[in-house]
Structure 1
């Protein structure tokens, strides 16, 4: 019976993994977001899936070992020159394994499920990084990835600095006496916006920035009726910069969903980069910047720069 091309790729990956394991007696184990115990022995060729995962791997000094990324990975800028494995929710196991990686780190929620199942059964270590949209989730990602890379002490040092940033952010948020509400618009189709409800990354970054989510009673990202958004009376509208809606404030606030809202009155339309929703190492700084945009009159202090907030993180060893 002939092997399929995918089976051949998996077999080749297994042989590569076996060679790597035989060449080194050192290995370590991590328990990933799926509850599986993953044994890792070689971090020389890493595939990262998820913007936050890629940022953390680079921040920990392993950027020169990354051989491919997904399209949500856009920072640091050098990742744009790497091979792309496509969208994190539409993975091709064949495409990933053809790169002969020694480790695959993927954010929880990557898919489709059957692709994740194939990758998890391959001999190449495949670890799902825990996802979440709050301060503790960011720290958990950093620590998990550092453990997966075999440098837990670097992860603790990085987590300590990020925790300090969140502490400063919390102190800044305490200065906001009257919170404003906002709505995050993921897309606009036929004049109807798709908005972020509860249990979303958008709501998470709003909370960190001291902003209330104007949309209540909706889970996830869903289309909203003009009546629902008008009733919410948002004081700001937030959109994704990379999606390039092409809608200026005058156009956005002429939509039936936003006419007559405080956001339209003040023309408060803010476009943010996608990393604001990835909950990676720059999250505290993202929330800080969003707060200064929502509350410009408060002159809120900025957080100090970190190596991973620079244009290109240094390759620490």
Structure 2
């Protein structure tokens, strides 16, 4: 990035120190204001283990929370605590009312000053590295961080339950979580024993990326009787070649609905049988890749699509 021609150069270290100093002063001022306020609730403290294996303890259920990940925002709303969010990371666009909340910037590089100004009593992060820049000010404010990283479909209702505990909204969260579990159980029962379908998950097009067997999307595939053709890849989101996909001979391609036409045309040009037979499934990318409640919706759509592919497995495609 080039410097502004009329702005004197300053060292990154000095700039970072100045930002931290402003944040620290703001944190101390906010901390004093919070101490002077009466208790927001007489409820007992709560303690929940997060997805990083840490015990997260609050003196009372959270009333001013910040979400650093779009999926976490969706989980909070599903738990009936959307009105407790005072700030969210960029990209938190569901449910629609989340779009009106103040932004704290990118979830992996959040703005410490914005976070401090919002006076949170809980921050919900995704990866520890993303919340790392906030930790000094959060320690000054005595604000706990809860890490949310569901890895399987069944982790999602568990996450809704834990959000209910964190916010004291169990009356909403518990039945919502139970309903999600029931839908997962129904899918597992319906598709158990079905003929396996080999699937290529196209997670990116230029370059070409996929997901391996440890991903939550691959977990949804297993529930549907699908087999991820790159399940054994050594990293969660490996880059692959067109030649590797052609060699894998998937029965179905799962891709973003927004790029469905272009993706289908590209694979047809390469004579991939799945594309020639019309077995490219377009999915809402946010619903499919965010580990939140909408992934259960996506799993239902995905299972139905794989079932249709089973019915046409032996149908020849156009030449």
Q: Return the index of the structure with the highest Cα Rg.
A: 2
| Alignment partner, residue 269 of structure 1 | 280
| Alignment partner, residue 70 of structure 1 | 89
Instruction: Report 1:182-193 matches (<5 A).
Output: 182-189=199-206, 192-193=207-208
C-alpha spacing 1:61/1:154, structure 2 compared with 1 (3 Å): closer
CA positional deviation for 1:133: 2.6
Question: Any stretches of 5+ residues in structure 1 without a counterpart?
Answer: 300-317
1:236 aligns with 2:248: no
Question: Normalization by structure 2: what TM-score?
Answer: 0.79
C-alpha spacing 1:171/1:226, structure 2 compared with 1 (3 Å): same
Give the one of 109, 120, 134 matched to 1:101.
120
Give the one of 194, 215, 234 matched to 1:200.
215
The answer to whether the Cα contact below 8 Å between 1:32 and 1:127 also exists between their aligned partners in 2 is no
| Alignment partner, residue 10 of structure 2 | none
Instruction: Report 1:287-298 matches (<5 A).
Output: 287-296=299-308
In 1: Cα distance, 2:298 partner to 2:37 partner: 39
Aligned Cα root-mean-square deviation (Å): 2.9
1:15 aligns with 2:28: no
- How big is each residue's C-alpha offset from its partner over 1:210-235, in whole Å with a ceiling of 9 and x where there is no partner? 32111133121121123322221112
1:58 aligns with 2:70: no
| Alignment partner, residue 6 of structure 1 | 23
- How big is each residue's C-alpha offset from its partner over 1:13-47, in whole Å with a ceiling of 9 and x where there is no partner? 42344345645443412234241432143633322
Structure ranking higher in helix proportion: 2
Question: Any stretches of 5+ residues in structure 2 without a counterpart?
Answer: 1-16, 312-319
1:222 aligns with 2:238: yes
In 1: Cα distance, 2:308 partner to 2:296 partner: 18
| Alignment partner, residue 117 of structure 1 | 135
CA positional deviation for 1:115: 1.9
| Alignment partner, residue 292 of structure 2 | 280
| Alignment partner, residue 169 of structure 1 | 187
In 2: Cα distance, 1:294 partner to 1:122 partner: 51
In 2: Cα distance, 1:279 partner to 1:184 partner: 16
The answer to whether the Cα contact below 8 Å between 2:46 and 2:61 also exists between their aligned partners in 1 is no
- How big is each residue's C-alpha offset from its partner over 1:118-141, in whole Å with a ceiling of 9 and x where there is no partner? 365242533324422323311220
Q: Bigger relative contact order, structure 1 or 2, given CA contacts below 8 A and separation 6+? A: 1
Question: Normalization by structure 1: what TM-score?
Answer: 0.79
Q: Which runs of 4+ in 1 moved over 6 A?
A: none
C-alpha spacing 1:71/1:272, structure 2 compared with 1 (3 Å): farther
C-alpha spacing 1:247/1:31, structure 2 compared with 1 (3 Å): same
CA positional deviation for 1:252: 4.2
